[in-house]
């Protein structure tokens, strides 16, 4: 994480603190934890809210081809940075709650990484994002997210309504602030694994 990333992140946070969930970009410890189950065999990966690209870079380091990445970013500032850093990735400048209205040519994806501040969003918006995300995810695919909160940021009622289960994978203590990582899967697939 460079000083430029920190200043860009802080600028976005000051402009719209509810859309940027943290005061600093995710660190290497969190990026490593949230991407640890993803490899080149995962295939196509969708990233929601990549920000400055910490998770994007970790995915590439794990063997995911840049061409297999679709990045959904609503901030024009972050989108310009991502386009320069990851020119072969597909970048869509839009809100993640619009996924269900979109037909992507590279769907279904094998995994989704979520860097969105779900705790700052309404219950309805989180439900919309989750519904749209799981419509893009292939059978057996996994959705990974992090939170600074004490529990999974996707409410139990949303998980139940969509037939999903959440499992905590661990905590990145060397992140500012420390964050927990969760994996969400379709319930029937989780019990079969």
The vertex-143 CA angle with 181 and 67, nearest 5°, equals: 110
Supply the range of the domain harboring residue 27: 3-192
Alpha helices in 62-170 (DSSP H): 76-85, 123-136, 156-162
DSSP three-state, residue 12: helix
* Residues 93, 163: Cα–Cα separation, whole Å: 29
What pLDDT is recorded for position 191? 46
What's the CATH number where 89 sits?
A: 3.40.50.150
- The candidate with the shortest Cα–Cα distance to 151, out of 111, 122, 114, 179, is 179
- Of 180 and 176, the one with more pLDDT: 180
- pLDDT tens-digit readout, 43-81: 999 999 999 999 999 999 999 999 999 999 999 989 999
Give 94's pLDDT tier (boundaries 50, 70, 90): very high
Structural domains counted in the chain? 1
């Amino acid at each position: 994480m460079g000083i430029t990333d920190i200043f860009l992140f802080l600028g976005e946070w000051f402009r719209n603190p509810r859309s940027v969930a943290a005061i600093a970009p995710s660190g290497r410890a969190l990026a490593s934890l949230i991407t640890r189950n993803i490899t080149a065999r995962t295939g196509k990966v969708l990233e929601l809210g990549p920000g400055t690209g910490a998770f994007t870079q970790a995915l590439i380091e794990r063997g995911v081809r840049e061409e297999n990445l679709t990045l959904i970013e609503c901030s024009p500032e972050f989108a310009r940075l991502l386009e320069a850093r990851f020119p072969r990735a597909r970048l869509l400048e839009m809100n993640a709650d619009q996924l269900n209205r979109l037909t992507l040519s590279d769907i279904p994806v094998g995994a989704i990484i979520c860097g969105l501040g779900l705790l700052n969003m309404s219950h309805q918006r989180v439900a919309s994002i989750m519904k749209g995300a799981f419509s893009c995810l292939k059978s057996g695919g996994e959705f990974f997210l992090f939170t600074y909160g004490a529990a999974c940021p996707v409410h139990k009622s949303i998980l139940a309504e969509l037939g999903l289960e959440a499992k905590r994978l661990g905590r990145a203590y060397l992140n500012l602030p420390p964050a927990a990582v969760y994996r969400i899967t379709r319930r029937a697939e989780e019990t079969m694994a």
